[in-house]
Amino acid sequence: MRRIVILLLALALPLSPAGPASAQGTLRIGMTASDIPYTGGQSDNGFEGFRFVGYQIYEPLIQWDLSRGDRLAQLVPGLAESWEVRKDAPTRWVFKLRKGVTFHDGSPFNADAVIFSFESIKKKDAPHFDPYGSGQVGFRIASLMAITKIDDYTVEVETNKPTSFVPYQICYMVIVSPAQWQKVKDWRKFAEQPSGTGPFRVTKFVPRERLELEAYKGYWDAKRRPKIDKLVLLPMPEPTTRLAALRSGQVDWIEVPPPDAIPQLKAAGFTIALNSYPHNWTHTLRLDKEPWSNKLVRKAANYAIDRVGICKSLLNDTCIPATGVVYKGHPWFGKPKETYDYNPAKAKDLLRQAGFDASKHPARAVHLISTSGSGQMLPLAMNELIQKNLKDVGIDVDLQPVEWNTLLTRWRAGFKTPENEGLNAWNISWNFLEPWSGFGRFFHSKAVVPVAVNTMPYLNPEADKLIDEAERTFDVGKQNEILARLHEVVVDDAPWIFVVHDQNPRALSSKVKGFVQPQSWFVDLTSVTVR
């Protein structure tokens, strides 16, 4: 039914030339979020919130370079011009702040603003503590203990242990205007009249409906002053609604068009932007119980999946096959021994070696999957294909679909609850934006539930050693080499069924020009023009 509707929507050719003409240089975006992401600073709604709200209104000290699509997005100076760890004290980092930057309300950016923003996340008894924003971002900057002012444009960041991951954490913390907060003295009010240093400033806030922003004329980086005058963000959780809004000219850009609609959208002159970025779609396996406790069975499953088929037939090439946590070409990929190409014969062979056999000792598993959800792509259709692939080699998987929110709640609690006792895996998609998100939280023995989310649990002293070593290695090139070694270990252990990497599809009207789809969860809207 839904596919038919999507097809009809996609096929429908406008009979009249165009919808009502919009103002010059206005970019209207249909987001997948069901609500306007939190505008008070530390974003909610996952990385879509950072993408369109957090990183457009505000900026962190270190930010992502989103100007290129041909390489993984890199960290570059943001509100800090430079930073380095102190040679005499590896738990202390000195950040030199950018001078001459002003917030949207006209007040100056300085060390006090950095400390104010940090306290709003970390200092529970401060009057400007923001419990909501803290809940969103606090855990992402867990190792930052304190920030102290050296002078107006220098701060020192103190961590709880020597960790080279500080720059990756700092980029999650955006800087809010203390002057604006002092004016309203309340985070809800601040969220309705926010003030940051980012390239866009909020002009109109209609809760749950729309957020309007305009180009901030006083933006500090002349090269990145927005070319458009106005940016309008509209929450549209329903894919069909987004598609209809794009096709009827109500928006110029939608996130995640339904894959079925992509050929027709292309034919009608819309641009489909795609690129690899740190996203993986996997089945996280339970390692302390049959059948996934056996490494040979896990490898068999990984050789049984027809990943190219999933991307081609189901997702219209909006994904690429995943044979590891990260994709080939990523600095952390390394050279894993196992290649996990589609090889059912090898899978059957591995299964036999593991002592499983269809009649006497069949491999059976129950997997919890979601019916939809952020980053989950088309979970039902994809899982049915995976179920068939696994069945073909002799692994019987019973799929239990639940609502996205339920899946997340049950997953966090780990496998060892009465409710989850019968399960053998969950299907959730992840990001691997930085070393902790990509590896630490899943593969370190200290990250076992409830501390973090190593639910499997994956307990491997070698992985622990490599994660710790990467954290202690301050040279990014060397750190990447260690993480690549770690990746090789993980891939060959196969604690997950690796399936695909999403390509972050978005559909743009032909009026939208100058957009570069980066290898990132975030986007730079300053280069975009709308005719």
The backbone region for 303, taken as left when phi is positive above 0, alpha when psi lies in -120 to 50, beta otherwise, is alpha
445 binds other proteins, rule: CB under 8 A: no
Query: How far does the chain reach from its first CA to its final CA, in angstroms?
Result: 36
Span 193-212, contacts to other proteins by CB under 8 A: 206-210
Span 104-123, contacts to other proteins by CB under 8 A: none
User: Measured from the CB atom, is 26 or 102 closer to other proteins?
Assistant: 26
Residues 6+ positions from 61 with CB-CB distance below 8 Å: 78, 79, 80, 83, 95, 97, 114, 170, 171, 173, 175
Query: At closest approach, how far in Å is the CB of 243 from other proteins?
Result: 9
12 binds other proteins, rule: CB under 8 A: yes
State how far the Cα of 385 lies from the Cα of 33, in Å rounded to an integer. Answer: 27
When binding is defined by CB under 8 A, the residue of 100, 269, 450, 461 that contacts other proteins is 450
Residue 43: count other Cβ atoms within 10 Å of its Cβ. 25
State how far the Cα of 104 lies from the Cα of 42, in Å rounded to an integer. Answer: 17
* Residues 502/521, Cβ–Cβ less than 8 Å: no
User: Measured from the CB atom, is 140 or 307 closer to other proteins?
Assistant: 140
15 binds other proteins, rule: CB under 8 A: yes
* Residues 32/237, Cβ–Cβ less than 8 Å: yes
Query: At closest approach, how far in Å is the CB of 69 from other proteins?
Result: 25
When binding is defined by CB under 8 A, the residue of 136, 195, 264, 503 that contacts other proteins is 136
Site string for other proteins, 219-238 (x = CB under 8 A): ---------------x-xxx
User: Measured from the CB atom, is 135 or 355 closer to other proteins?
Assistant: 135
Span 248-277, contacts to other proteins by CB under 8 A: 248-250
431 binds other proteins, rule: CB under 8 A: yes
Site string for other proteins, 386-425 (x = CB under 8 A): ----------------xx-xx-xxx-xxx-----------
Copy the structure tokens of residue 507: 């559909």
User: Measured from the CB atom, is 177 or 264 closer to other proteins?
Assistant: 264
Query: At closest approach, how far in Å is the CB of 144 from other proteins?
Result: 15
Residue 196: count other Cβ atoms within 10 Å of its Cβ. 30
When binding is defined by CB under 8 A, the residue of 91, 271, 374, 529 that contacts other proteins is 374
13 binds other proteins, rule: CB under 8 A: yes
187 binds other proteins, rule: CB under 8 A: yes
Site string for other proteins, 35-54 (x = CB under 8 A): x--------x-x--------
SS3 letters across 460-518? CHHHHHHHHHHHHCCCHHHHHHHHHHHHHHHHHHCCEEEEEEECCCEEECCCEECCCCC
User: Measured from the CB atom, is 155 or 261 closer to other proteins?
Assistant: 261
Total chain residues near other proteins (CB under 8 A): 62
User: Measured from the CB atom, is 95 or 521 closer to other proteins?
Assistant: 521
Q: Which stretch binds other proteins (CB under 8 A): 274-282, 283-291, 448-456, 457-465?
A: 448-456
H helix or E strand, kind and range, residue 248: none
Q: Which amino acid is at 287?
A: L
* Residues 248/261, Cβ–Cβ less than 8 Å: no
Query: At closest approach, how far in Å is the CB of 491 from other proteins?
Result: 21
247 binds other proteins, rule: CB under 8 A: yes
Strand order in the sheet with 363-370: 319-321, 496-502, 279-285, 425-431, 363-370, 395-402
Q: Which stretch binds other proteins (CB under 8 A): 183-191, 257-265, 334-342, 511-519?
A: 183-191
User: Measured from the CB atom, is 201 or 247 closer to other proteins?
Assistant: 247
* Residues 449/457, Cβ–Cβ less than 8 Å: yes
User: Measured from the CB atom, is 36 or 287 closer to other proteins?
Assistant: 36
530 DSSP β-pair partners: 512
Strand duo 506-508 + 230-235: pairing: unpaired
User: Measured from the CB atom, is 170 or 433 closer to other proteins?
Assistant: 433
21 binds other proteins, rule: CB under 8 A: no
State how far the Cα of 53 lies from the Cα of 67, in Å rounded to an integer. Answer: 18
453 binds other proteins, rule: CB under 8 A: yes
437 binds other proteins, rule: CB under 8 A: yes
* Residues 27/252, Cβ–Cβ less than 8 Å: yes
By three-state DSSP, how is residue 390 classified?
A: helix
User: Measured from the CB atom, is 208 or 223 closer to other proteins?
Assistant: 208
Residue that is written with structure tokens 């995943």 in the block: 322
What does the DSSP 8-state code read for residue 34?
S
State how far the Cα of 448 lies from the Cα of 415, in Å rounded to an integer. Answer: 11
135 binds other proteins, rule: CB under 8 A: yes
When binding is defined by CB under 8 A, the residue of 26, 107, 240, 445 that contacts other proteins is 240
Best CA proximity match to 60, nearest among 508, 433, 418, 479? 433
Contact residues for other proteins, defined by CB under 8 A: 5, 8-9, 12-16, 18-19, 34-35, 44, 46, 131-132, 135-136, 138-140, 187-188, 191, 206-210, 234, 236-238, 240-241, 244-245, 247-250, 374, 402-403, 405-406, 408-410, 412-414, 428, 430-431, 437, 441, 449-453
